[in-house]
Amino acid sequence: MKIDYVEFSSPNMAKTTDFFASAFGWGFNDYGPEYQELTGAGISGGIAAGEAAAPLIILRSNDLEAALVKVEQAGGKITRPIYDFPGGRRFEFTEPGGTAMAVWSDT
């Protein structure tokens, strides 16, 4: 699997998008008050409304169920089982060192 997406979080979406636009020239696709997709950032990504946290690194898989099994077998802790979201499905986990990550699939 490869890194496919980076997701930021922000308790103040307007301030965060204004900052990214002013500082880096990034644009956004508006998915409502809870989510903004990044454009022009050099990698696919987005900003989710919520408590500020470290960016979430998201991997892409063609077989989400098999990826979940591999993550568990390698010592990852599933923090959010597979769930649907607009555009696909994903699960979230922490690797043994504590970094939060996710894996997604469009099927």
Residue boundaries of the structural domains of the chain? 1-54, 61-107
Distance of alpha carbon 10 from alpha carbon 67, whole angstroms: 28
pLDDT in tens, 8-25: 999 999 999 999 999 999
CATH number of 1-54: 3.10.180.10
Helices (H) and strands (E) in the chain, counts: 2, 8
Q: What is the pTM of this model?
A: 0.87
pLDDT in tens, 46-101: 999 999 999 999 999 999 999 999 999 999 999 999 999 989 999 999 999 899 99
pLDDT in tens, 22-55: 999 999 999 999 999 999 999 999 999 999 999 9
CATH architecture of 61-107: Roll (3.10)
Which DSSP string corresponds to 51-66? S--SPEEEEE-S-HHH
pLDDT, position 106? 94
β pairing state of 88-94 and 100-105: antiparallel
Distance of alpha carbon 41 from alpha carbon 100, whole angstroms: 21
Contacts of 48 (CB under 8 A, 6+ apart): 7, 8, 9, 10, 34, 35
Q: Is 61-107 in the same CATH topology as 1-54?
A: yes
